[in-house]
Amino acid sequence: MDRTKKGAAVVNGLQVRGASVRYGSVVAVSDVSLEVAPGEIVALLGASGSGKSSLLRGVAGLEPLATGSIGWDGVELTATPVHRRGFVMMFQDGQLFPHRNVAGNVGYALTGLSRTAREARVAELLELVGLAGYQARPVTEMSGGQAQRVALARSLAAKPRLLLLDEPLSALDRGLRERLVEVLGSSLRATGTSALYVTHDQDEAFAIADRIGVLIDGRLRQIAPGPTLWRQPVDAAVAGFLGYDLILSPAEARALGWPGSGASGRVAVGPSGLVERPDGVAVPVVELRHRRGPSLAVVRLPGGQLGQVQLSAEGAVAAELRVSLEASGCALVPVSD
């Protein structure tokens, strides 16, 4: 089997090098390189059409690569058939077998084991995902969240060296997604399973992943641990995707109370980056937006941009507010972008 280039270090886990996926003349994924270490969970974030699912399918072997390569522990897999890669893919709908009960679904991949060993493994996995005692339950009688837990247990049953998850929780309501992302994360870490997790939900990605990659228009713009990604977006496009709705020049930021040390980069203003302060800059209120919790005031900043301020108290809002930047809600973006 082919190894990495002679003299180069062999990287354990998944290696994606210069991967591109095309559909006719449409480039869905362009020159993406990334790694997933053994036991690591990497999330891929992106808007609809950003190429994240196409990249996942390329890693799985379900889509051919136009350029680039896929490897595992330094062994070239680009031409290896899907069923021989040792990867398992978990889809949004779980794709359970309706004619099998829970135990039948989870134990489907446990070939070569005795009945006793298979039953013990199924019980172990169901306890891991919070479904102990559900072996005989028909999957057609389960809720969406329960069905996804069964799908996860089945995916883990064969001990894949890499689990590929394509929007596994997107069909569920938010409260259930928040509970199940904890189950997913704890199950993957308990089994030491490497995972590449595709989602459009930023809260999911930040909750479950060791590192997060942001894809925009088919290109991987940044990959980093969650806190680093949030505090140090590599460019304005990544900052905007993450929810920083304003990018201020150093001068505009200093006018709103940003310290002089911020002059080395533009300041990206997040949802909590603009706050009311008695000693702040007076700005006119353009609009009042009501929502659950504190209302928002839309204000016009000295540079002409519109910004949002979370109001500290309910009631009548004056024609102007005094505001300034809150460092914990902002991030620096390189000027060179």
pLDDT band at 233 (very low <50, low <70, confident <90, very high): very high
Task: Tell whether the model's pLDDT for residue 6 goes beyond 50.
Answer: no
First and final CA of the chain: distance in angstroms? 42
pLDDT score recorded for residue 231: 92
H/E run at residue 238? helix 236-242
Q: Which of 10-19, 31-40, 84-93, 141-150 has the highest mean pLDDT?
A: 31-40
Question: Which pLDDT value is given to residue 92?
Answer: 72
**Digit-coded pLDDT (tens) for 18-31:** 999 999 999 999 99
Q: Are 284 and 272 in contact (CB under 8 A)?
A: no
Distance, CA of 225 to CA of 234 (rounded, Å): 13
> Starting at the edge strand that comes first in sequence, how are the strands of the sheet with 41-45 ordered?
87-90, 162-166, 195-199, 41-45, 211-216, 219-224
For the domain bounded by 14-240, which CATH number is listed?
Answer: 3.40.50.300
Per-residue confidence (pLDDT) for residue 65, from 0 to 100: 97
- The token pair at 237 is 């496009």
DSSP state of 101: B
Q: Which residues contact 316 (CB under 8 A, 6 or more apart)?
A: none
Decide: 73 and 3 in contact? Cβ < 8 Å. no
Q: φ, ψ for residue 62 (rounded to 5)?
A: -80, -20
Which pLDDT score, from 0 to 100, does residue 4 have? 44
* pLDDT given at position 336: 61
Per-residue pLDDT at 69 exceeds 60: yes
pLDDT of 5 reads: 45
pLDDT at 1: 43
The confidence score (pLDDT) of residue 212 equals 98
Mean per-residue pLDDT, 239-250: 92
- Longest CA–CA separation in the chain, Å: 76
Q: Which residues contact 71 (CB under 8 A, 6 or more apart)?
A: 4, 14, 15, 17, 77, 78
- The residue among 313 and 104 whose pLDDT is bigger is 104
pLDDT for the residue numbered 2 = 47
% of residues, the chain, pLDDT over 70: 93
CA 135 to chain centre: 31
Ranges of CATH 3.40.50.300 domains, the chain? 14-240
CA separation for the pair 290, 283 (Å, rounded): 19
What's the mean pLDDT when you consider all of the chain? 89
What was the pLDDT predicted at 329?
92
Tracing tokens 């077998």 back to the chain, one arrives at: 97
What string of DSSP letters covers 246-294? EEE-HHHHHHTT--GGGGGEEEEE-TTSEEEEEEEEEEEEEEEE--SSS
User: Which residue spans within 79-142 are E strands per DSSP?
Assistant: 87-90
Confidence of residue 174 (pLDDT cuts 50, 70, 90): confident
pLDDT confidence of residue 144: 87
- Whether the CB-CB separation of 48 and 200 falls below 8 Å is answered with yes
Asked if 311 and 317 count as a contact pair (C-beta separation under 8 A), the reply is yes
Helix axes 144-157, 115-128, angle to 10 degrees: 130
| pLDDT at residue 219 is higher than 50 | yes
pLDDT higher than 90, residue 71: yes
